[in-house]
Amino acid sequence: MSDFFINNAYAQAAGPAGGGMGSLFMFGMLFVVFYFFLIRPQMKQAKEHKQMVESLTKGDEVVTSGGMLGRINKVGDNFLLLEIAKDIEVKVQKHSVSATLPKGTSKTL
């Protein structure tokens, strides 16, 4: 009588073994996608920034990461002296420079 109201639950057969190679292939493909879309462009941008920082010279007009615009008066190993207005100089780290500008840009602003 209990079989009439309650169905018996039977275990299902095990699925086919394997699939390890497929998941390993998918993991490899995911790494390749991350490398080409995230890691490689970041490395290229860091390399370009390093070259720009190394090429800074006296007289260059730059913008810092804080948005300060000025002309370089003195270049040291880690710091540079940035003239932001007449007779006003600020000492900033070299790596805080985000971009160089064409000569004469600060006079036009």
Domain parsing of the chain, residue ranges: 20-108
| Residue 28, helix vs strand vs coil | helix
Which residue, among 68, 100, 66, has the nearest Cα to 83 in the 3D structure?
A: 68
Of residues 7 and 64, more confidence is placed in 64
Q: Quick one: pLDDT at residue 3? A: 64
The pTM of this model reads 0.69
With a CB cutoff of 8 Å and minimum separation 6, the contacts of 60 are 71, 72, 100
Domain 20-108 sits in CATH 2.30.30: yes
Percent of the chain with pLDDT over 90: 67
pLDDT band at 107 (very low <50, low <70, confident <90, very high): confident
pLDDT tens for each residue of 36-79: 999 999 999 999 999 999 999 999 999 999 999 999 999 999 99
Q: Quick one: pLDDT at residue 109? A: 73
